[in-house]
Chain A
Amino acid sequence: MSTETNVQEQGYETFSYDDRLTKMFVIATMLWGVIALFLGVWIAFELASWKLNLNLPWFTFGRLRPLHTNAAIFAFVGNAIFAGVYYSTQRLLKTRMASDILGKIHFWGWQLIIVGAAVTLPLGISSAKEYAELEWPLDILVALIWVTFGVNFFLTLKQRRERHIYVAIWFYIATIITVAVLYVVNNLALPVGFMKSYSAFAGVQDALVQWWYGHNAVAFFLTTPFLGLMYYYVPKAINRPVYSYRLSIIHFWSLIFVYIWAGPHHLLYSTLPEWVQTLGMAFSVALWAPSWGGMINGLLTLRGAWDRVRKEPILKFLATGVTFYGMSTFEGPLLSIKSVNSLAHFTDWIVGHVHSGTIGWNYMMTSGMLYFMVPKLWNTKLYSNRLANIQFWSATIGLLLYIMSMWTAGITQGLMWRAIDETGKLVYPNFVETVVKILPMYWVRAFGGTLVLFGFVVLVYNVYKTIKNAPKEQQEETFKALPLSANPIDAHGGSHRKLEGLPLYFSVLAFLAILVGSVIELIPSLVSNQFIVKDSRVRPYSALEVAGRDVYVREGCYTCHSQLVRPMAAEQLRYGRVSEAAEYVYDRPFQWGSRRIGPDLHRVGKKYSHMWHYRHMLNPRDVTPGSIMPNYPWLYKNKVKFGVLPKKLSVLAALGAPYSEEEINRAPELAKMQAKTIMDELVADGVPAKMADKEIVALIAYLQRLGIDMAEDKDEVASTK
């Protein structure tokens, strides 16, 4: 690349980088970072002390957890990715982004989506699919804005002045393509109204698609872009090239190929076909190799410079980030091994695992990247290294407290759930015992999270001061470089150039790599619809139960409750019969959940009286002392919207539920009749008759229906009391 001297001056083109756009994303990263982390801390305290749910719908755990996860992933990490990508892409390709306008649309569109999420999720407008809770209008907006980003990116590639495409750019390309595919497929749904839809997939299939998405959101939103960023910012910060460029290529292809298969490790011991589970587990374990290849490559880039790592905050954050990447990608495959998974699944261990990824890897890398970029972007020096060090220690200690408390809580609770004494009975039959036991750990976790948040606030202050002290006159730096046409493909290594220098060709290959796994894994299961014997005993939900289910979805009950009894002795003892695939065929979306903060609910139908639920939902501690479940007083005020039921049922019918014309047209009337039968019992227990049209009745109808269709005889249900 030392062609400058001997080429004529007029061959050069001059250009500048669109750093305004990067700066905007930097600011947005900090703003949303504080909010996402604050939300996390808030809901952590809600679990430690249920009163913080404030008895208000918008603040309950079930509604705020989706906001926290979406804010952390798409707002905080998302904006950080865009900042890092725009900064590095322009420099690696020696060109300004193709279009300033598209960049601005991307920026403001993305912020609009986030604001939309911040408004709709607390209002309970949610599709109840984890990390994809946004409803369809926002989903469409996400897709459009993502495409805008992609178009601008590919146009920029086209007008680049550097023929070779550095590996970081590969990771960005894989990210752009895969996230688009994942997001669109997983959010396929049929709208019922402006802010409500039913998933195009049901039950087991919905679960498979959801976790193919969910896992790969981790892979292609939280991991691949950050690996790209790692390959750019670590060499930049230490001022030497990556340890092994060759390894980075092997890392890239192995990682994207293997990752896409691993989703089913979220569904081990579920009713998912066995071969899909095995596939997911095998590839998850295999994932260990490319992940560690990448980590080692990152860390070895810092070899022999550890004294600098100890002194310079940027390197400290980056090195810690890469180390935690290694840790969580070790833990992930471990958790995918079936026997480990049987203990860890549904416990806080998984929650700890996720946070060692998002805080350890994404937060640390983002911080390092910000400390690197901000002084460069604003043409100044960092305000305070000391503050950066304070953040580092605060965040690191906070994170360690977080991880260790969650390990303890998860393993403790997991062991308590499965403990069976000599007589074959559960040692802790009362679920709430296992909750009370780990409450101290919830305080430790909340405190750890607070330290992480505090560290980030320090970063924001530090960056604010840095920017304030920067020279007021900021002019865009101009650069010169030769156009691509002046840099013909040279003789040696010709075929490398062909593959690694042709973005389109390359993108197609990357697309194929992720397609292979997706197609082999998803298609047979999706068409296997014809293979699931639809058990004739399983009937679609009644109109009132549909209304109740929508309340369940709106309140985010799945953030605390699973609906999946796994084939294990302890679960059968605790909950009842093992769940079967045929039972879920009308579940749109499926609600298996991923964490049992409360007990599984798949066999809760007919377990308790209507009155028990009535009292429990109003104040869980009334019937279960020590419970940490929020109160739901508004369900006793809100009326069921009977009028929309025909519409809802007809949409479900369009998706395959066998409702008759009559059931659809007379839905409001039939729902009221069912409410009446529930009310008869409640009134006998002293509930005022005017409650008949309230949401609580619909919710009770739904809860009482859960998991009873296939009971061999109805007595069996009653005897599990």
Chain B
Amino acid sequence: MKSKISIQNLNLSIGKNQILKNINLDIPENQVTIILGPSGCGKTTLLKCLNRLIDLEENVTITGSIFLDNEDILHTKSDLPGIRKKMGLLSQRPYPLPMNIYDNIAYGLRINGIHNKHIIRESVEHNLKQVNLWDEVQHRLKEPASRLSIGQQQRLCLARGLAVKPEIILADEPTSALDPLSSTAIEKKFVELKEEYTLVMVTHILRQARRIADYVVFMYLGEIVEHGTADEFFNHPKQEQTKAYLEGIFN
């Protein structure tokens, strides 16, 4: 199993609070990696280190390294947009950009210097089809994205991320605001997408993790307690804390 991202000795503090403690983790390529853990254990913060959104926070101290295909992306000052472009982000709630449906997808292309109308149009259609949204919106592409339902918005946000051709998709509890049907749609899509992408998804829903995980990371209080393949993790957990979590004692 080839690893796409390698996190080494990652420590992170905000002010005096240490949020992440000595994280070491290899994220396998073309697999769905699920990060599990109770609320507040640092899952979101860990994701933000990967795409360097953590840079937007104040008073953050980070040590360690994160390698993406052998390039240390944690401390490089150059080409942050380039690093971020390689990782699509799907957040807890969809945040469509304040523009119409078409422009939401076109945005990522335009900021990256692609202005050819034909290419943009192709990409909009292709990526909306990717997330099974095309049939629903093809006649209302000029409508504000905010008019879509939450489930549609989340799929739009996924399409928006795919349009800039990332290698990795980061998702932070992407189904927590969605109805069961839309959640299932996203889950299914993720499983399909692993053919082409490496997926990292945070969730606190155990059943969801069981459904789609290839690799599982369990965090607690800023530390990784245990990580392993889905089979190892769910069927033969080694740590007591993991066993307790799987039995639902944490929830």
Whether A and B are associated in the same complex: the answer reads no
Interface residues of B (CB under 8 A from A): none
